[in-house]
């Protein structure tokens, strides 16, 4: 058996001295604390040649590491199962950091902060909540001012990012299909290392279960929202009002977070910084994806964040927002409760921003700005009372939900601002170009590299966005057109060979209706692989996003009406936008029943 063994340059180093040194290096974290925080480490996976590379010393008499063929029994007992002994003393020679020929970054770091509201980030003019580290990134990044969502909500947005193809016109939610290549699946055929670090439960549930499998490695920090992590609650946790959600898996997990560093978001960011310290100088090229579920609900934080933006609140904090249209008007919550929910979101935003700063620190100390693209994005926003909408209910995609932040720090490119229209699938196209791979399936993105390098002012004329079974939106930077069903929300079909939807913990029997006798085999655009196409008619049970009410079409001039208060649907301009939407759907070969449903035949 191969085993790590610690030696000293003089003779035998006292293990307690090494432990004390590691505490100092790790900023006060013992190795056992570090392992708990960053996730259990696996055994040695490096090649023997690289394992035997020079171990850099830290101070006088620092231990060097050697790989031996055996360990003493006492040493075996001291090593926790599945962990490596102290790796903090091991560093790898600093690479000569520079972009590849043509100015292409050698690496990319993508940090997706779920439900990140653009208008609440300081770099985008937000003043309500503090985001000093997002603002810190913005000072060295290209800030995209006209970036929009594509497919909604959570998993469909990940599909846009990792597969590059809009899917909200074909299915409501689901994993990567058999005819599709994920970006990481293509990179697995190369020498480029890919790493996922995440606390996002949907990536590890039915309906999202294969997005992580093509990464070279992945690390899941447990305990967020719907993650079925613990089977019994810690009695010290008394819970919080849920606005009708009922008992959540988080109620079993929450009591095990003893301090700020124990929360899933901080653990994810700490693990990210640790991964960069351990790998950045070792790997030739890498893609690091950090899928951070914060500031998604529950908006639960410890002090000082919990009371930071609503210090006068009495009682349990309202960490679970309602999902409602007209929430205050209908009495779902009071204006005062709405203020508290909003403040709790701000607390979560400021806390994760603070821990994101540790990732920026790791990028700094590893010199990664010189050859690494750093991308911060989100999947969508989150309504916090704008238009009296709360959460992510079935509603048109107004600006707080659909107009989202994107910041990209690019080696050799000065910070700046672009008003070019962009969307999530464009990030897939950008990363595919950075790493020199192409998907074999039909994609919809445009690479942002010509835009970042100043070679062009625009990469697209419009964006399509929406949620399956709801309004379809066309945005061109000036106009936003939201097209609702012309009558009943039918006909409608789902195209998938992976029959799943988002699990709802309080409704364990909730599932998509199985394909029935009406189903047929069809083909997605660009592929001959058969796919199950299940038609739905009026009265059929549909995934719950499609079950909400509709209130007609909407047309807004975003230049003159950024708050979307003057609906111009019914004006002569709507006919032009309807024609453009029809043409856009034809270009991507949208299902024929969508044209009928939307009255665009």
pLDDT in tens, 357-374: 999 999 999 999 999 999
Domain residue extents for the chain: 3-78, 105-460, 464-597
Average pLDDT over residues 258-283: 96
Distances (CA, A) of 557 to 383, 471, 550: 21, 18, 21
Is 16's pLDDT higher than 90? no
CA distances from 104 to 101, 409, 552 (A): 6, 12, 46
Statement: residue 318 has pLDDT above 90: yes
Q: Is the pLDDT confidence value at 73 over 90? A: no
What's the pLDDT score for residue 418? 97
Token pair 């058969």: residue: 530
pLDDT of residue 94: 54
User: 206 burial class (0-12, 13-18, 19+ CB within 10 angstroms)?
Assistant: middle
Dist CA 258 CA 120 (whole Å)? 28
- In this predicted structure, which of 87-96, 107-116, 151-160, 396-405 has the lowest mean pLDDT? 87-96
Q: What average pLDDT does this structure show over 212-241?
A: 89
Question: What's the rounded Cα separation, in Å, for the pair 297 and 293?
Answer: 8
Tens of pLDDT, residues 340-358: 999 999 999 999 999 999 9
The token pair at 418 is: 């672009």
Mean pLDDT of 308-328: 96
* Average pLDDT value for residue range 428-446: 97
List, for residues 445-498, the tens digit of each pLDDT value. Answer: 999 999 999 999 999 999 999 999 999 999 999 999 999 999 999 999 999 998
Q: Band of the pLDDT at 234, cuts 50, 70, 90?
A: confident
Cβ count within 10 A of residue 244:
11
Q: Percentage of the chain surpassing pLDDT 70? A: 83
pLDDT for 545: 77
Which is it for strands 530-536 and 107-113: parallel, antiparallel or unpaired?
Answer: unpaired
pLDDT at 363: 98
Helices (H), 172-244: 183-187
**Are 537 and 491 within 8 A, CB to CB?**
yes
Strands (E) located in 202-264: 217-220
Q: Do residues 433 and 448 lie in contact, with contact meaning Cβ atoms separated by under 8 Å?
A: no
| Start-to-end CA span in the chain (Å) | 69
Residue 395 phi/psi, 5-degree rounding, is -155, 160
Query: Could you tell me the CA-to-CA distances from 27 to 21, 31, 33, 102, 193 in Å, in that order?
Result: 10, 11, 11, 39, 28
More confident of the two residues 364 and 13:
364
The predicted pLDDT at position 186 comes to: 96
Of 98-102, 317-321, 499-503, 574-578, the one with minimum mean pLDDT is: 499-503
Q: Which CATH number fits domain 105-460: 3.40.720.10, 3.20.20.10, 3.40.50.300, 3.30.420.40?
A: 3.40.720.10
The alpha carbons of the chain give a radius of gyration, in whole angstroms, of 25
The mean predicted confidence, pLDDT, of the chain is: 85
């Amino acid at each position: 058996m191969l085993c790590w063994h610690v030696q000293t340059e003089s003779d035998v180093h006292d293990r307690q001295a090494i432990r004390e040194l590691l505490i100092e290096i790790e900023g006060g974290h013992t190795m056992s604390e570090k392992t708990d925080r960053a996730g259990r480490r696996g055994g040695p996976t490096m090649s023997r040649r690289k394992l035997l590379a020079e171990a850099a010393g830290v101070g006088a008499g620092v231990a060097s590491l050697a790989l031996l063929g055996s360990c003493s029994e006492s040493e075996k007992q001291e090593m926790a199962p599945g962990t490596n002994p102290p790796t903090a003393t091991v560093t790898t020679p600093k690479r000569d950091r520079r972009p590849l020929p043509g100015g292409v970054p050698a690496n990319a770091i993508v940090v997706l902060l779920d439900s990140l509201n653009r208008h609440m980030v300081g770099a985008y003019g937000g003043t309500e909540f503090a985001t000093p580290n997002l603002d810190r990134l913005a000072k060295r990044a290209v800030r995209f001012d006209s970036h929009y969502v594509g497919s909604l909500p959570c998993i469909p947005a990940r599909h846009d990012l990792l597969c590059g193809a809009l899917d909200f016109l074909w299915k409501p939610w689901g994993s990567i299909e058999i005819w599709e290549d994920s970006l990481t699946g293509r990179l697995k055929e190369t020498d480029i290392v890919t790493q996922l670090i995440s606390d996002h439960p949907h990536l590890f549930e039915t309906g999202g279960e294969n997005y992580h499998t093509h990464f070279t490695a992945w690390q899941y920090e447990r305990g967020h929202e719907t993650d079925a992590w613990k089977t019994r609650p810690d009695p010290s946790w008394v819970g919080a009002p849920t606005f009708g959600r009922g008992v959540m898996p988080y109620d079993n997990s929450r009591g095990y977070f003893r301090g700020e560093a124990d929360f899933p978001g901080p653990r994810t960011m700490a693990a990210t910084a640790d991964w960069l310290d351990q790998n950045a100088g070792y790997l030739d090229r890498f893609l690091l994806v950090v899928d951070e579920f914060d500031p998604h609900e529950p908006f639960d934080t410890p002090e000082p964040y919990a009371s930071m933006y609503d210090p006068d609140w009495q009682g349990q904090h309202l960490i679970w927002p309602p999902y409602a249209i007209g929430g205050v008007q209908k009495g779902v919550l009071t204006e005062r409760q709405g203020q508290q929910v909003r403040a709790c979101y701000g607390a979560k935003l400021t806390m994760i921003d603070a821990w994101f700063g540790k990732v920026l620190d790791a990028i700094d100390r590893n010199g990664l700005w010189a050859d690494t693209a750093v991308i911060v994005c989100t999947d969508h926003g989150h309504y916090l009372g704008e238009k009296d909408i709360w959460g992510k209910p079935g509603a048109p995609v107004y600006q707080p939900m659909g107009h989202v932040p994107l910041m990209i720090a690019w080696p050799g490119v000065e910070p700046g601002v672009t008003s070019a229209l962009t969307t999530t699938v464009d990030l897939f196209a950008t990363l595919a170009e950075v790493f020199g791979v192409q998907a074999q399936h039909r994609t919809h993105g445009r690479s942002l590299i010509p835009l970042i390098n100043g070679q062009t002012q625009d990469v697209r004329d419009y964006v399509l966005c929406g949620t399956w079974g709801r309004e379809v939106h066309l945005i061109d930077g000036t106009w936003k057109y939201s097209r609702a069903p012309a009558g009943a929300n039918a006909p409608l079909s789902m195209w998938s060979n992976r029959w799943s939807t988002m699990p709802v913990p309080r409704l364990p029997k909730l599932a998509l209706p199985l394909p029935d006798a009406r189903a047929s085999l069809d083909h997605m655009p660009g592929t001959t692989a058969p796919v199950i196409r299940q038609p739905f008619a009026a009265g059929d049970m549909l995934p719950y996003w499609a079950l909400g009410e509709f209130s007609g079409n909407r047309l807004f001039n975003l230049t003159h009406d950024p708050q979307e208060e003057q609906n111009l649907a019914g004006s002569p301009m709507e006919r032009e936008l309807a024609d453009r939407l029809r043409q856009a759907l034809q270009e991507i070969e949208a299902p024929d029943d969508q044209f009928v449903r939307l009255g665009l035949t």
